[in-house]
Chains A and B, each alone.
Chain A
Amino acid sequence: MRFAPTEEQAEFRSAVKALLVDTCDIAAVRASWGGEVGRHTEVGQGNGRVERAWKGLADMGVLGLLVPEADGGMGMTQDAFVGIAVEAGYAGLPDPLIETAAVAPPVLASSSEPLASELLARIASGEVTVGVGFGESPLVPCASTADWFLILTGTAAHLLDASAVDITPLSSVDGARHLGRVNWSTAASTVLVSSDSDAAVLTAARNAAVTFSSATLVGLSHRMIDMTVEYVGERHQFGVPIGSFQAVKHELADAALGVEFAEPLAFNAAHLLSVGEDATVAASMAKSRASRASQVASDACLQLHGAIGYTVEHDLHLFMKRAWALSRQYGDFRSHRAVVRRALLGS
């Protein structure tokens, strides 16, 4: 029994953290906003990507972590990725990391198509990103820059080239998301994996999206809490730092408490994915808690920043808006609790 990353995993995570501190600082997150969509054009002129960070992640092997060694990856398991997803959240990395590096590779690796193998190699090298969507015409983050799309319906995983889909750009509250509504039509040629042949792969893809978005939310929440701890320690009112007031302390303690107990649920779900067990309930437990904890944290952190937090000049909103989006993408806290409820009580 050992509930902790291996020494190697912990070192790798630290190296990724250092890379992101260097390549994905707040200025880079801010610059990734904007482009042609919506009401955020004044914030940045970016396309939702932080190219330096992405290149660094490719060079370190993060993008190929779950890609088989035969396809140029590291052939590692999901428990090596979960801590990295937390760090990506902490950094506010807008790129489609969990989709490209954690959801898509196992699905592609389950296919014997030469295209899948080729794509895996290009994921590992950082040449392509994969947009992932669930359902008929899904909302996909970083849709405008995605090279390929993996669309999961209840019965199959479809793989489509960017030229084979029709993308309607939509403005997200988080201007770094570069969201698109992806319209596409199914054809025999689009099916990569069907539930008839490999239902477990489809389930695992859903569970990976749920698990790693939970881990990302844990990182985002930690970041918002750290920013708030710093702010309330500096901001003086009534002649003292406002962080010395008990009302402030308790609100932050509660925010931290929720995150503290959501994190092991996400690590547990990643572990189950690693050992090939059904992680459906575990992933839903994690998302239920991480979604709620991030909402509690973002509410508290905004409140404790006061008016300065309610501006786009301050950095808090960059993380808060991502948390709003991710806490509902791939299922919100109630829908995931309902998954657990049905498993426990049958209704």
Chain B
Amino acid sequence: MDLTWTESEQRFREECREWLRANVPAEPLPSGDTSEGFAAHLEWENLLHSAGWAVVSWPAAYGGRDATLWEWLIFEEEYYAAGAPQRITQNGIFLLAPTIFEFGSRAQQDYYLPRMSAAQDLWCQGWSEPNAGSDLAGIKSRAVRDDERGGWVLSGQKTWTTRGAFSTHLFGLFRTDPEAERHRGLTYFLAPLTAEGMTVRGFGRLDGDEGFAEVFLDDVFVPDDDGTTETMAAGGILGEVGQGWGVAMSTTSSERGLTLRSPGRFRAAAARLLELAHDQIAAGVDLDPAVLDAVTDAWIDTEAYALYTLRDVTGVVEGTPAGARSSYNKVFWSELDVRLHEAALDLLGAEAELDGSWMHGYEFSLSGPIYAGTNEIQRNIIAERVLGLPRK
């Protein structure tokens, strides 16, 4: 065990901290899941990118600074501690990019990644369908081969697409072999939302933001990749035709695991929770001891999550990634986030219903146990793939 940071990691932390201190907007931006807020967040992404902070762990050629996984963790800690804006680019940089790094051709990497880090292309995820949510393998959207034109024709409907209404591109799974069932015969497609035949309809989420969308595909043509930027601009395929499930699964473990929910995020929230508790105590608010216990539980669980992540990252660095164990991670952080916000609402008492940041955070936390694979599905994965219980 060595729980200290090297000198160069500490310098990296200082550098992050100073830049964030000088650049994070003093007033929080309006939510990035609204059209007004999205524009403000886009400006922020441009600023991050120009200073080299958009994708710290990527190669410099793609807009990063070749940071180690440990440095990425430090960046995340500083980012959330500084109260910096949410990342509207996250579905691209955290979910799609790892898949492009793993499965994309060199030409695809060279084309898509710099545009993604610069927030020129804004990606949304096209996985869920009206009848394929937790049961993702039940996907019905199809891609039909068109040999004459040399490409694929996509049709179907995708839904619950976060920030779909503001994004420029979609990545998702489509059935390329109509005879194949379930996990077989699926292919991982990339497509611009501006393509002919794409219709995007935004709608309001529980928290009032208009961040959800459904995407209708009516014979959207994706040409075969001939290695030119023209065809890549019109979309493409990641990995092999028919291998989409395996390609997508590499993304889901990022989504469930640490890339989307680094501990820095919860540490910042737990620190704010503690501050709120101190404020309420100082103001003489009569608090039931059970509420203070709930605050303490949230704090302890946040520490446990942070330490667990250090162990996970050590494993990744040393070549033993978490695999199916990332489902533990997803269940834990998403339920911790809900409990943490519930503790804050209890501290606020009758004032909790005021439309403030804690209520907003609470509403958002409630999505955690649902997205990225519901926690019911995660518990199945833990039971079957980690513990080894029989599937049937």
- Interface residue ranges, A against B (CB under 8 Å): 1-6, 79, 225, 229, 232-233, 240-241, 243-244, 246, 248-250, 252-254, 256-257, 260-262, 264-265, 267-268, 271, 274, 285, 288-289, 334, 337-338, 340-341, 344-347
Contact = CB atoms under 8 A, between A and B. Distances in A.
A345 B292 contact: yes
Nearest to A265: B304
Given A1-B310, A252-B383, A345-B277, A337 B304 contact: no
B109 interface: no
A4 B314 contact: yes
A288 B383 contact: no
Given A4-B315, A253-B331, A347-B281, 9 more contacts: A3-B314, A6-B1, A229-B388, A244-B389, A249-B380, A249-B382, A253-B379, A257-B331, A257-B332
A262 B304 contact: yes
Contacts of A267: 1, 307, 311
B380 A347 contact: no
Contacts of B313: 1, 3
Contacts of A5: 1
A263 to B, nearest CB: 8
B230 interface: no
A249 B299 contact: no
A260 B332 CA distance: 10
Contacts of A240: 390, 392
A267 B314 CA distance: 14
Contacts of B325: 260
B382 to A, nearest CB: 4
A294 to B, nearest CB: 15
Interface in B301-343: 301, 303-305, 307-308, 310-311, 313-315, 318, 325, 328, 331-332
A2 to B, nearest CB: 5
B311 A3 contact: yes
B389 A345 contact: no
Interface stretch (B2-10, B33-41, B231-239, B245-253): B2-10
Interface string B279-307: 00100000000001101110111011101
Contacts of B301: 261
Interface string B1-32: 11111100100000000000000000000000
A289 B331 contact: no
A289 to B, nearest CB: 6
Nearest to B270: A344
Contacts of B304: 261-262, 264-265, 285, 289
A332 B303 CA distance: 19
A250 B382 CA distance: 9
Contacts of A256: 328, 382, 386-387
B387 A341 contact: no
A244 to B, nearest CB: 5
Contacts of A274: 1
A233 to B, nearest CB: 6
Given A249-B379, A249-B384, A257-B331, A344 B295 contact: yes
5 contacts: A1-B4, A253-B378, A260-B325, A274-B1, A345-B277
A244 B307 contact: no
Interface string B238-266: 00000000000000000000000000000
B325 to A, nearest CB: 8
Contact of B307 (A6, A232, A265): A265
Contacts of B299: 340, 344
Contact of B387 (A1, A6, A229, A344): A229
B391 interface: yes
B3 A271 contact: yes
A1 B386 CA distance: 27
Contacts of A271: 1, 3
A347 B1 contact: no
B198 interface: no
A257 B329 CA distance: 9
A79 B2 CA distance: 10
Nearest to B380: A249
A178 B25 CA distance: 64
A337 B332 CA distance: 19
Contacts of A257: 328, 331-332, 382
Given A256-B382, A285-B300, A233 B293 contact: no
A250 B335 CA distance: 15
Nearest to A270: B1
B274 interface: yes
B382 A253 contact: yes
B201 interface: no
A268 B304 CA distance: 9
Query: Taking each of A244, A261, A337, A346, which has the highest tally of chain B beta carbons within 10 Å of its own beta carbon?
Result: A261
A261 B305 contact: yes
Contacts of B318: 4
Nearest to B315: A4
A160 to B, nearest CB: 35
Nearest to A245: B389
B232 to A, nearest CB: 38
B389 A250 contact: no
Contacts of B382: 249, 253, 256-257
Nearest to B320: A4
A288 B293 CA distance: 12
- Top 3 A-B pairs ranked by shortest CB distance? A249-B383, A3-B310, A264-B307
Contacts of A285: 300, 303-304
Contacts of A344: 274, 277, 295-296, 299
Given A233-B388, A248-B389, A289-B300, A3 B307 contact: yes
B102 interface: no
A244 B390 contact: yes
A257 to B, nearest CB: 6
Contact of A1 (B5, B305, B328, B378): B5
A225 B292 CA distance: 32
Nearest to B392: A244
A250 B376 contact: yes
A337 B328 contact: no
B70 interface: yes
